Amino acid sequence: MWFDLDGLPVCFPYDAIYPEQHEYMGELKRALDARGHALLEMPTGTGKTAALISLITSYALANPSRPLRLFYCTRTVHEMEKTLAELRLLFSHLPPADACRLLALGLSSRKNLCVHPQVSASGAVDTGCRRLTASWVCEKAAYDRESATPLCDYFETFDAAARKGDLALYIQPGVYTLADLRSLGRERRICPYFLARHMVKHANVVVYSYQYLLDPRVASIVSSEMQKDCVVVFDEVHNIDNVCIEALSVSIRKQTIQGAKGNLRHISQQIDRFKATDASRLNAEYRRLVDGLAQRGNLPISDAWLANLALPDDILKEAVPGNIRKAEHFLTVLWRLVRNLDERVDTENVVNERPVSFATSIYSLAGIETTTLRFLYDRLQSLLLTLEITDTDEFMHIQKICDFATLIGTYKRGFSIIIEPYDDRMPDIRDPVIQLSCHDASLAIQPVFNRFQTVVITSGTLSPIDLYPRLLNFNPVISRSFTMSLTRDCICPMVLTRGSDQLPVSTKFDMRSDPGVVRNYGRLLLEMASAVPDGIVCFFVSYSYMDGIVSSWNDMGILQEIMQHKLVFIETPDVVETTLALDNYRKACDCGRGAVFFSVARGKVVEGIDFNRHYGRLVIMFGVPFQYTLSKILRARLEYLRETSQIQEGDFLTFDALRQAAQCVGRVIRSKADYGMMIFADKSRHDKRSKLPGWIRSHLHDAHLNLSTDMALHTAREFLRRMAQPYDKAGSSGQTEENLQDKARDAMEM
């Protein structure tokens, strides 16, 4: 349908629009008009994606001076496909004249896009691909046709077309999902990965993982192609600050150092071999560096694993220091650095240092200057290229160390280096580690904000919304939280503070191991398992707590009783095992046996796996998922936040815990037709209600704030019966074209 939004004709691919979508579009339009950033919270299942893309597309169509350039960053491949499907639907509703000019595509890693029959079947797609497509391999093949150097046909087609400049012939305007790209590649015998990467420059909409923008190691692949007037959307990024921090944090263990030593030995052998056979290559590299041309732009673009970290511009323009220009010299510097780190890691007590003092100590002990440190990462990449090394995974360790050095050399603030001889939770096992941890989330994302005029950050859980601008250090022109309009009360959050014996339950440290609390939690799950059909998901605060409580339940016989009603599946840190458990969990829900899934609030499952419909009728959150507060890294970060952003420690911890909890319980409801219950089982929960996202808070009745197990059971039964009644989808809260026009007319008359 088409409707008018403050003078902008908007094409919306559905017949009805929810009022919150309409509002959402209005706010978004204001942000685009103001050419500023926006921060918008709207619960999942309200059609955020559809609202976003239809508004931005319509905006671009209505303003020819601002052509459509949208970068849509999602969290998982699955979300990417969903977004592209929405786009396809939208494009089919656009006027054909407009739609036939637009190109939208998804971009993912080689692993997801490769169509080469052997390479895609092998485990290491990246390495396999490089072995067939690196520039020197191609050159060698072209130079020496008889030697039958294996090449990738798909890449050769791409390369030939790219040289001729007629790549556009291969890809017609339209919407391409990853599967479409692969089938296109197979059909036309062209590499979909390189094609997609090339077409990013010309595409109107690109959908990809937000790692491409935030992680400086991979950012350069595409971000250099973007212009200032692009709109960048980050979807489902409630933990964007953690992603930014992880992108700039490095931890080095004993194994890393050992591996790095092995790598260095390998490299020096390679250098010796090259010296004997092809010294000119090394010399050429040296000369180039002497000329002060940092290797950017000088090497073939197709080998784009040159990365520039989020470095300040003046550093980029500096020349590589003299003492690492020659390959042998560079190698000795690296040896000194690795040996120095090896000594540092063997410490008996915990060390907490700032980058500046750490760099100074490296200078005094190993004689490496800060400026030199800064260039190590780039220099290593250049050397690996020169040595024609395709298997980058093997050199992961030395790359990590160079990455570490470069970060230390570059940033003076916002980081700290923590050396721990063992993990606090397991003091008997010696596991020394050097951690470079970033405390300032704005460092990684700042270039994004500076570069693009409109960055939209949106998610189902961004509460409290005023904290994000402070964490990320930016000024949104619009920041708003929307609620969901529902035809029925399809979510039922409850706060359970007492067991059926009226004793309080909590996962606070002093109550955690109390058998009474453990039993009360067990009884709660048991009662619920007998009253709730199909799937139940339980979240625990940590793996260790989950292990403890599950084994106590086993001893008490509670687990066996639960098994009479439902099968039990448990998440483990192992991805393969967890995937298997999830598959079987789904099967058990499908066939009516019923199942319980035990998961961890900060585990893998909570990010990106949905428990919608009958896969999750109830989610129980045992305790408040606070971070492990004794962790040195967290302490350092809290201190930094207090000093620079004036965020109190308690505020941040509560915010983080509730954000995580909201994320957990939000797993069960993914659309308006769905329904689900949420139980927060902790006595200290009810005073933190105001920090929950609005869409949960609005359904949290006062009567459900302080329940005991039997009261919760009664509420659950009633809720489930009510929700099982047939419900009128036609009368849902959507507004059609006519009502919108009526409304607009009313507004005009007023």
Interface contacts to another protein, rule CB under 8 A: 530-534, 564-566, 589-594, 613-614, 617, 717, 720-726
Establish how many alpha carbons lie within 13 A of residue 68's alpha carbon, considering only the half-sphere containing its beta carbon.
23
In the complex, the smallest distance separating the C-beta of residue 294 from another protein, rounded to whole angstroms, is 60
Quickly count: other Cβ atoms within 10 Å of residue 244's Cβ.
25
What gap in Å lies between CA 441 and CA 686, rounded to an integer? 30
In the complex, the smallest distance separating the C-beta of residue 618 from another protein, rounded to whole angstroms, is 10
Nearer to another protein, 617 or 672 (CB): 617
List CB contacts of 427: < 8 A, sequence separation 6 or more: none
Nearer to another protein, 522 or 594 (CB): 594
Nearer to another protein, 452 or 719 (CB): 719
In the complex, the smallest distance separating the C-beta of residue 715 from another protein, rounded to whole angstroms, is 13
The answer to whether 458 and 234 are in contact (CB under 8 A) is yes
List CB contacts of 148: < 8 A, sequence separation 6 or more: none
What gap in Å lies between CA 559 and CA 566, rounded to an integer? 10
Nearer to another protein, 443 or 589 (CB): 589
CA dihedral 523, 526, 527, 533 (to 10 degrees): 160
What gap in Å lies between CA 680 and CA 687, rounded to an integer? 12
In the complex, the smallest distance separating the C-beta of residue 589 from another protein, rounded to whole angstroms, is 6
Nearer to another protein, 647 or 720 (CB): 720
Q: At what angle do helices 515-531 and 558-565 cross, to 10 degrees?
A: 10
Nearer to another protein, 125 or 618 (CB): 618
Nearer to another protein, 206 or 716 (CB): 716
In the complex, the smallest distance separating the C-beta of residue 100 from another protein, rounded to whole angstroms, is 40
One-letter identity of residue 417: I
Nearer to another protein, 566 or 704 (CB): 566
In the complex, the smallest distance separating the C-beta of residue 170 from another protein, rounded to whole angstroms, is 43
CA dihedral 611, 613, 614, 616 (to 10 degrees): 30
Quickly count: other Cβ atoms within 10 Å of residue 252's Cβ.
25
Task: Using DSSP bridges, classify how beta strands 250-253 and 231-235 pair: parallel, antiparallel or unpaired.
Answer: unpaired
In the complex, the smallest distance separating the C-beta of residue 379 from another protein, rounded to whole angstroms, is 59
Nearer to another protein, 242 or 698 (CB): 698
Nearer to another protein, 181 or 589 (CB): 589
Nearer to another protein, 304 or 531 (CB): 531
> Taking Cα atoms as reference points, which of 609, 270, 630, 666 lies closest to residue 462?
666
Nearer to another protein, 229 or 561 (CB): 561
Task: Using DSSP bridges, classify how beta strands 70-74 and 205-209 pair: parallel, antiparallel or unpaired.
Answer: parallel
CA dihedral 361, 365, 368, 371 (to 10 degrees): 10
In the complex, the smallest distance separating the C-beta of residue 219 from another protein, rounded to whole angstroms, is 43
Nearer to another protein, 161 or 558 (CB): 558
One-letter identity of residue 280: S
Secondary structure (DSSP) of 713-741:
HHHHHHHHHHHTS---STTSS-EEHHHHH
In the complex, the smallest distance separating the C-beta of residue 534 from another protein, rounded to whole angstroms, is 5
Intra-chain end-to-end CA distance of the chain, in Å: 25
In the complex, the smallest distance separating the C-beta of residue 729 from another protein, rounded to whole angstroms, is 15
Residue appearing with tokens 């009516």: 592
In the complex, the smallest distance separating the C-beta of residue 503 from another protein, rounded to whole angstroms, is 25
Nearer to another protein, 55 or 589 (CB): 589
What gap in Å lies between CA 744 and CA 394, rounded to an integer? 63
Nearer to another protein, 389 or 720 (CB): 720
In the complex, the smallest distance separating the C-beta of residue 591 from another protein, rounded to whole angstroms, is 5
How far apart, in Å, are the Cα atoms of 436 and each of 100, 234, 432, 631?
49, 26, 13, 14
Quickly count: other Cβ atoms within 10 Å of residue 157's Cβ.
18
**By 3-state DSSP, what share of the chain in percent is helix, strand and coil, each rounded to 5?**
55, 15, 30
What gap in Å lies between CA 221 and CA 225, rounded to an integer? 8
In the complex, the smallest distance separating the C-beta of residue 594 from another protein, rounded to whole angstroms, is 4
In the complex, the smallest distance separating the C-beta of residue 135 from another protein, rounded to whole angstroms, is 53
In the complex, the smallest distance separating the C-beta of residue 562 from another protein, rounded to whole angstroms, is 12
What gap in Å lies between CA 708 and CA 603, rounded to an integer? 28
In the complex, the smallest distance separating the C-beta of residue 221 from another protein, rounded to whole angstroms, is 43
> What is the C-alpha R_g of the chain?
28
**What is the distance of C-alpha 611 from the center of its chain?**
19
> Taking Cα atoms as reference points, which of 205, 231, 235 lies closest to residue 32?
231
What gap in Å lies between CA 135 and CA 390, rounded to an integer? 10
What gap in Å lies between CA 523 and CA 181, rounded to an integer? 51
